[in-house]
Structure 1
Amino acid sequence: MDPVAKEKLLREVQGAKPQTAVDYLLLDAASIAHAHFFSTRDPVPSGGDVPANGILGFYNTAQRLIARFKPFRIIVAFDGRKLARAEIYPGYQSRWRRFNPELRRQVGLIAPLSLKLGWHVCVSDRHETIDLAASAKRQCGLDDSSMVFVTQDKRAVMLLEKNVGVVMRSHVIWDLVTHLDVSDEFGVLPSKVADVIALSGEGNIPGIFRLGRKTAAKLVNEFGSAERVYETLDKLHNHLREKLETQKAAFELGRKLTRLDALAPIDVAKISLEQLAFDREGVERFCTIQKLGTVLRRIDADYPLELWNLPFRKS
């Protein structure tokens, strides 16, 4: 990004960091578990316990972020199984289908465990977690509440606002993504990331073949939007113009796939009114049945006796 654009960015995002205590901490459970599945060392199971490194990674990350952001409500979200985007593009697969069987097993245990911990769980069969986050962001804007979204989905940077933070994993650290981080990675403002992804692709989104992210960012910065690029193709050199013309269908597909559903079914106002208690007996029973002794021992270390069966309350 050129110096003038970077200076404009700095002026635009001053004070954009969310407050220390937030109303909602929204956790992309599968994404967090996947990030730790291959990197978190699981203590040697004993007494017939089964591996739980993905669950442990998710739980440990959640606890660290709870301590940092002090959320009023904790929401654990999951991708649906019959995604609307897969109907638009059959090659678009849920992350769930790409996980190996052991990781799928562990992710499947996070929802019931979370409920027993007093955390809210949200899933919509046709939506991804990123859509639930977009819907939650819209609702937060209506009542001036704040949210932090924790994920590895790079599209999440499109959600950055003064009252909405995004936490991603960099190496082994989960930390807030800044607007400058976005400009360094995508070369554009957060509001223009969708244009870059629609042009160059990302993950499940194919994009235009052999159109790199830097080229896409340069075009978006020069013309203002991906649509404007297509309206002024005559200003591009022959090779690039031909590439964009012949692959316009790929761009239009990418645009559809990057569009987030801000009306996805999550009701943060309702969640704010629901108090879920930490059910210690339920946690012990669940972990015993599922042979998650390593997880139970960690939970016991975090929750002293006096916190058993107490709801989360707003201070």
Structure 2
Amino acid sequence: MTEPGLMLFDTASLYFRAFHGIPSSLRAPDGRPVNAVRGLLDFLARFVTDYCPTQVACCWDEAWRPAWRVALVPSYKAHRVDHDDVEQVPEELVVQVPLIRQVLGALGLPVVGAADCEADDVIGTLATRSAIPVDVVTGDRDLFQLVDDERGVRVLYCGRGVANHDRVDAAWLQTKYGIDGRGYVDYAVLRGDPSDGLPGVAGIGEKTASKLVTEFGGLDGIVVAADAGELPSTLTARLRAAMDYLGPAREVVAVDRDAAVPDVDLTLPSAPRDPDRFAALTEELNLGSSADRILKALAASS
């Protein structure tokens, strides 16, 4: 009998990866691009087959750049804004997002979001609520903060590709960064993340950030040490120059673990909820072998 387990998909992270990694020549009969749709289905099928979760959630960005995060750090994702706070996304991907929602809906795979929240916050909340082991599937390092061996929460990190994903647990984090999940937020704040518009502290890279968090336990301890003259003067000056950034950035990087996420039945279906609709979409969108793989994965889970 399969052991209970919850798999949380960072959906946008996966369909962006599919879009950029799978040939755009994959088209529906009417010419619409479907590489992101098909790639996402292939990814879901692979993880369901390999890890056999009993529950799943396709976590969704209801707000890709939440107003409350922007209020704290105005540069947050600012470089990715097109106009009117709309994210810069290739048009050939934009047209596929509604198709992804239709396909997931026909399959009966739960799509879960929350108002003014990113998928990260949905993932953090569902992982915190879960009474069973959790696997988070993402290409976003910020979710390393959720890793918790005691609670059975790990991250299946797709930074090197889905086929070469890393199983991130406490030992992996210790080997890679010298910290644990609890220290990751402060580490990330110090190091910064240009992809999210977070500048970090000037002159502090990964090694220094890791050393500081390990030695002083986090930002609070680091600031106390700086005020007490326990750090080199140059480093102290850099930290003091960044004080207006550190506190707000910590709130921005930390995922919300108590977001207003609705209670949803996350049971992994063994067959499409609406088989006729899924069959029609398969033909309409030329889903081909991708449809076969997800159906096989669902059937094998029963």
Query: Which TM-score band applies after superposition, normalised by the shorter structure?
Result: 0.7 to 0.9
2:21 to 34, 39, 51: 39
Deviations 1:114-138 (A, max 9, x none): 1111200111231111111111121
Partner of 1:226: 219
For residue 13 of structure 1, what is the aligned residue in structure 2?
Answer: none
274-283 or 26-35, which deviates more: 274-283
Note if 1:121 corresponds to 2:121.
Answer: no
Aligned partner letter, 1:214? K
Query: Which residue matches 1:258?
Result: 253
- Which residue pairs with 1:7 in the alignment? none
Report the equivalent of 2:157. 168
Change (3 A) 1:115 1:129: same
Stretch deviating more after TM superposition (209-218 or 44-53)? 44-53
Q: Name the count of aligned residue pairs.
A: 284
- Going from structure 1 to structure 2, the CA distance change for 1:124 and 1:276 (only over 3 Å counts) comes to farther
Moved more, 147-156 or 50-59: 50-59
- Asked if 1:79 is matched to 2:61, the reply is yes
Provide structure 1 residue ranges, at least 5 long, that are not aligned to the other structure.
Answer: 1-19
Select which of 289, 298, 301 maps to 2:290. 298
In the alignment, does 2:132 pair up with 1:139?
no
Higher relative contact order (CA 8 A, sep 6+): 2
1:214-254 CA-to-partner distances (Å, cap 9, x unmatched) read: 11111111112111110111111111111111111111121
Q: Which amino acid aligns with 2:100?
A: I
Closer, same or farther in 2 for the Cα pair 1:153/1:171, shift >3 Å? closer
Q: Given residue 147 of structure 1, which amino acid in structure 2 is its aligned partner?
A: V
State the one-letter code of the partner of 2:46.
Answer: R
Matched, 1:236 2:220: no
Distance in 1 between residues matched to 2:45 and 2:3, nearest whole Å = 14
> Are 1:194 and 2:185 matched, yes or no?
yes
Does 2:39 align with 1:93?
no
Change (3 A) 1:131 1:45: closer
Q: CA RMSD in A?
A: 2.9
Is the contact made by 1:25 and 1:75 (CA closer than 8 Å) also made in structure 2? yes
| Pairing 1:149–2:136 present | yes
Q: TM-score, normalised by structure 2?
A: 0.83
Deviation at 1:68, TM superposition (A): 1.6
After superposition, the Cα gap between the structure-2 partners of 1:229 and 1:283, relative to the gap in structure 1 and judged at 3 Å, is same
Q: Which of 204, 213, 223 does residue 211 from structure 1 map onto?
A: 204
Task: Work out whether residues 160 and 190 of structure 1, in 8 Å CA contact, stay in contact via their aligned partners in 2.
Answer: yes
* Partners of 2:29 and 2:267 in 1: CA distance: 41
Query: Are the equivalent residues in 2 in contact too, given 1:146–1:164 (CA < 8 A)?
Result: yes
* Structure 1 position 21, deviation (Å): 4.2
CA 1:177 to 1:98, structure 2 compared with 1: closer, same or farther past 3 Å?
A: farther
- The one-letter code matched in structure 1 to 2:69 is R
Tell me how far apart the structure 2 counterparts of residues 301 and 212 of structure 1 sit (CA, whole Å).
42
Aligned to 1:303, the other structure's residue is in SS state: helix
The residue type equivalent to 2:98 in the other structure is G
- CA positional deviation for 1:272: 4.3
- The secondary structure found in structure 1 opposite 2:128 is helix
Higher mean alpha-carbon deviation, 38-47 vs 162-171, is at: 38-47
Preserved contact between residue 61 and residue 113 of structure 2 (Cα < 8 Å)? yes
Residue 87 of structure 1, CA deviation: 3.0
How has the CA–CA distance of structure 1 residues 26 and 274 changed in structure 2, closer, same or farther, with 3 Å as cutoff? Answer: closer
Matches within 5 A, 1:19-30: 21-30=3-12
Local SS of the residue matching 1:148: strand
Match of 2:100 in 1: 110
Contact residue 116 and residue 283 of structure 1 kept, 8 A: yes
> Which TM-score applies when normalising by structure 1?
0.80
Match of 2:171 in 1: 180
Distance, in Å, in 1 between the alignment partners of 2:127 and 2:28 is 43
Distance 1:275 1:63 in 2: 12
**Which secondary structure state, in structure 2, belongs to the residue aligned with residue 50 of structure 1?**
coil
